[in-house]
Amino acid sequence: MGKNVLIIGASGDIGQAVVTQLGREGHQLMLHYYQNKHFLDKGRTGLDEEAVLLTIQADLSKTEGISHLLRQLVFPVDAVVFAGGRAHYGLFQNTDETLMDAMLTLHVKTPWIITKNLLPSMIQQKQGRIILITSIWGEAGAGDEVIYSSVKGAQNSFVKALDKETAPSGIAVNAVSPGFIDTKMNASLLSEEKEEIIKDIPARRAGTPDDVAQMVRFLMREKSDYVHGEIINISGGWHL
């Protein structure tokens, strides 16, 4: 039987792929987006109408946006996938403090608060899934992406630490950590720059959003019950 799954960032490339995979698995979905509702609608194409319980628009880089989302959750939530977020490029010394606060709220505080609110019900039910889409930069770090690397590193630590608390209650917390994925987030790269990156990837190609979503699909299945507190790289063998 399908689960009620909250997907944060459902309008992004990876979010759309997760929507497709989990919708086909028979789960009932609650879809969050901030902008680009047309991308959200595109991701629902081919799914049964009953697959989507509700959609929620909220700016999760602000505390009031998080509160608004939580108020809209009128259905029980069995699992949550944090697939949203945004990158930031530029020297750390030139980074504005306002942007720092927004990145911290979006990538760190949002998973904290949403998870804290969902955990009591999951603990009562003795089951649950919490999945974060992080990044290999959260482990390796990237120049010109210090803020992004920092918040993704915080997400990885959150996954490892929280699962130690929740695993005895049957709740699995894991992360899927993509490498170079062909998404809108990388659209600013020149074709020559992409080619140079791909030369360093043993699989000799960029990853796709579906590569990431397939791992989320696996982590939602009962067959993954013994996978806990893991940061699973989806990188084509690209180790930095």
Supply φ then ψ for residue 224, to 5 degrees. Answer: -100, 15
For residue 81, which of 38, 120, 128, 48 has the smallest C-alpha distance? 128
CA distances from 133 to 70, 107, 111 (A): 20, 10, 11
C-alpha distances out from residue 127 to 32, 101, 160, 190, Å? 22, 33, 18, 45
Q: Is 226 considered catalytic here?
A: no
Q: Which member of 33, 34, 148, 226 is catalytic?
A: 148
Burial of 204 (0-12, 13-18, 19+ CB in 10 A): exposed
Q: Which residues are catalytic?
A: 148
